[in-house]
Amino acid sequence: MATTISGSVKRPEPQALASAIEALAARFGNRLITSQAVRGQHAHTTTWLPTQPPDAVVMAQETQDIQDVVRICAKHSVPVIAFGTGTSLEGQVNAPAGGICIDLRDMNRILEVHAEDLDCVIQPGVTRKALNEYLRDQGLFFPIDPGADASLGGMASTRASGTNAVRYGTIRDNVLALKVVRGDGEIITTGTRAKKSAAGYDLTHLFSPSSCAAFPRRSPPLPVRSRPCAAPARPRFLPSRPAFRWRGSNCSTPSRSAPAIPIQS
């Protein structure tokens, strides 16, 4: 008999959960982890709520992994929780009804950087510091800076912001498009690298933020900025592209409505 947690939150039937974990074990082998310690590391809150760990953790490495986890869990009515770097503070990674946690940290590749267009395409597990380390030598940076070194997927999901918000906006202002794995395992793309579109609903900003809804996301392009010239005399900021550097100071407006997060296999 499914256990009612509160209101509509129900733990899955024990048999259904066992069948889901069996199917996941067959598909992922040792990338499916059920140890108490690892489950405990994938759930926490800084609130009065107790830590409620998931029933298992899957270490995702590519898009197909996310789709397969979601499909197996949908078949057995088992909840799914995405996990970026676990720095959220309001209990977002807690698992009140148990379920399967999809850890996205191994999906941490930076796929494309379009310096001329001031955007890039990354996987969801890329952290903000890793992205800036990667962009540094190109005279670029990504300005959204929550206090923790969070994943871009987690930042998109929690609508993160930081000390640069007044000048560069929040993560929501810096997402161009998303690829989202739906609850049936199908993929939708919410936009392109175009800075604006009048086509259809603005799904990108429906999914960012969405930490209330479990839609693991994939493959977003992200805007980047040219690093502000601390000392204009330091021409090393792309001397061959003066427009670029100057755009840096003026580009906050045009590329404010930028970029997009998540993954691309």
Ligand X SMILES: Cc1cc2nc3c(=O)[nH]c(=O)nc-3n(C[C@H](O)[C@H](O)[C@H](O)COP(=O)(O)OP(=O)(O)OC[C@H]3O[C@@H](n4cnc5c(N)ncnc54)[C@H](O)[C@@H]3O)c2cc1C
* Span of 47-55, 78-86, 131-139, 230-238 interacting with ligand X by CB under 6 A: 78-86
**Parallel, antiparallel, or unpaired: how do β-strands 9-10 and 4-6 relate?**
antiparallel
- 93 versus 118: smaller Cβ distance to ligand X: 93
**Binding of residue 93 to ligand X (CB under 6 A):** yes
Residues 83 and 44 sit within 8 Å (Cβ to Cβ): no
**Binding of residue 223 to ligand X (CB under 6 A):** no
Six-digit token pair at 225?
Answer: 């900025």
84: Cβ contacts below 8 Å, ≥ 6 apart: 104, 105, 124, 125, 150, 151, 152, 153, 154, 155, 157
Question: What stretch of H or E contains 84?
Answer: none
DSSP 8-state symbol, 125: T
* Span of 4-12, 69-77, 132-140, 158-166 interacting with ligand X by CB under 6 A: 158-166
- 33 versus 82: smaller Cβ distance to ligand X: 82
We find the least distance from the C-beta atom of residue 181 to ligand X, in angstroms, to be: 8
We find the least distance from the C-beta atom of residue 175 to ligand X, in angstroms, to be: 12
**Binding of residue 104 to ligand X (CB under 6 A):** yes
**Binding of residue 211 to ligand X (CB under 6 A):** yes
- 51 versus 138: smaller Cβ distance to ligand X: 51
- 211 versus 264: smaller Cβ distance to ligand X: 211
**Binding of residue 183 to ligand X (CB under 6 A):** no
Q: Is 46 left (phi over 0), alpha (psi -120 to 50) or beta?
A: alpha
Measured between alpha carbons, how far is 38 from 168 in angstroms, rounded to an integer? 36
Measured between alpha carbons, how far is 225 from 218 in angstroms, rounded to an integer? 22
Residues 258 and 191 sit within 8 Å (Cβ to Cβ): no
* Span of 57-65, 67-75, 183-191, 211-219 interacting with ligand X by CB under 6 A: 211-219
Please state the φ and ψ torsions of residue 33, each to the nearest 5 degrees.
-120, 130
- 110 versus 115: smaller Cβ distance to ligand X: 110
- 147 versus 239: smaller Cβ distance to ligand X: 147
Half-sphere exposure of 179 (CA within 13 A, CB side): 20
- Among 2, 89, 194, 243, the residue binding ligand X under the rule CB under 6 A is 89
**Binding of residue 94 to ligand X (CB under 6 A):** no
**Binding of residue 235 to ligand X (CB under 6 A):** no
- Beta partners for 57? 33, 101
Measured between alpha carbons, how far is 15 from 220 in angstroms, rounded to an integer? 37
**Binding of residue 86 to ligand X (CB under 6 A):** yes
Question: Contact residues for ligand X (CB under 6 A)?
Answer: 81-89, 92-93, 104, 124, 146-148, 150-151, 153-155, 157-158, 160-162, 211, 215-217, 262
